[in-house]
Homo-oligomer: A and B are copies of this chain.
Amino acid sequence: MEIKTYLNEKRLVVEDALARYMLPAQGALASHMESMRYSLFAGGKRVRPILCLAAAEALGADPQPLLSVACSLECIHTYSLIHDDLPAMDDDDLRRGKPTNHVVFGEAGAILAGDGLLTFAFDLMSDYSLGGLISDGDRLRLIQIVARAAGPLGMVGGQALDVASEGEMVDFETLRTIHGCKTGALITASVQAGAIVGSADDKQYASLTSYGEAIGLAFQIYDDLLNVEGTTEELGKAAGSDADRDKATYPAFFGVEGTKVKAQEAVEAAVAALADFDQRAEPLRELARYIINRKR
């Protein structure tokens, strides 16, 4: 299987579903809807929903009825990017090669676009279209896992710590906490969500969680690396911006070559976590390898 073909196919499935779920931009609230759609359809890789779908498929489940859950993860990810880019945060004008949300819709519009997407994600997760595939209890469990991963002890907390550490060369333990909360938590939760919808047993759930944690780590390590090595054109955002801000990164601790080794180790740990899975987990394995071969 060619992973790029797989990613492309799944990306289209996710984007088709997102287009159906997202509320139409009409009436008095048209501009607000437009601001959410702008960032949601700004060319994301859809890694989190695809991880969710791939995890369910690895367990032999048909992911079609759980598209709303997969889409909700992309809504949460997109909201986090909109808020991270705000002038009060990273103050980035460019994201995926396009003007950031606040550049187009203003600061207030961007804050509210993020708020709207985050809230809409929970609307999607609690949507009855999923009924029947998994129990209501499992769906509640899924909502709580995602809420915790995205919340004060997860993604939001990681971003708060990142902002608070700006211009400060934090110690490695703090860097790990920032990475783990800010990026790792939602990636892990995306895999866990797929595991729940695929009706994973306890052992499978634990294996998929280990896989999710490992690729979450690989993802952030490799992002640090891209920020050092990539060009602005390749990244679709300002290259070298971490070093400009004196941000603590893996390359700052381990050098570029040492960081590549760490990323490779994380990918191997991810693949190893899936040892008991059959060929249906191949997309998950390929996805792990792809993380450290992408350009952005």
Contact residues of A with B, CB < 8 Å? 23, 28-29, 31-33, 35-36, 79, 83, 86, 88-89, 106-109, 111-112, 114-116, 118-120, 122-123, 125-128, 135-137, 139-141, 143-144, 147-148, 150-153, 156-157, 159-161, 163-164, 174, 177, 181
Once A32-B161, A111-B83 are accepted as A-B contacts, the answer to whether A144 and B127 lie under 8 Å apart by CB is yes
Q: Are B112 and A163 in contact (CB under 8 A)?
A: yes
Q: Are A118 and B115 in contact (CB under 8 A)?
A: yes
Residues of B within 8 A of A144 (CB): 122-123, 126-128
- Identify 30 residue pairs between A and B in the complex whose beta-carbon atoms are under 8 Å apart, listed by A's number: A23-B152, A23-B153, A28-B161, A29-B160, A31-B160, A32-B152, A32-B160, A35-B160, A36-B152, A86-B108, A88-B106, A89-B108, A89-B111, A108-B160, A109-B163, A112-B160, A115-B115, A115-B156, A116-B151, A116-B156, A118-B119, A119-B147, A120-B151, A120-B152, A122-B143, A122-B144, A126-B140, A126-B147, A128-B144, A135-B136
Number of identical monomers bound together in the oligomeric complex: 2
Residues of B within 8 A of A164 (CB): 31-32, 109
Residue of B nearest to A152 (CB): B116
Partner of A160 from B116, B126, B137, B140 at Cβ < 8 Å: B116
Q: Are A29 and B152 in contact (CB under 8 A)?
A: yes
Please give me the 10 A-B residue pairs with the lowest Cβ-Cβ distance, nearest first: A136-B136, A88-B107, A32-B160, A119-B151, A123-B147, A126-B144, A116-B152, A126-B143, A122-B147, A116-B156
Residue of B nearest to A123 (CB): B147
Alpha-carbon distance A23/B157, docked complex (angstroms): 12
Shortest A179–chain B CB gap in Å is 12
Residues of B within 8 A of A159 (CB): 112
Shortest A37–chain B CB gap in Å is 10
Alpha-carbon distance A144/B111, docked complex (angstroms): 22
Alpha-carbon distance A116/B148, docked complex (angstroms): 10
Of A32, A152, A159, most B-chain CB atoms within 10 Å: A152
Q: Are B88 and A108 in contact (CB under 8 A)?
A: yes
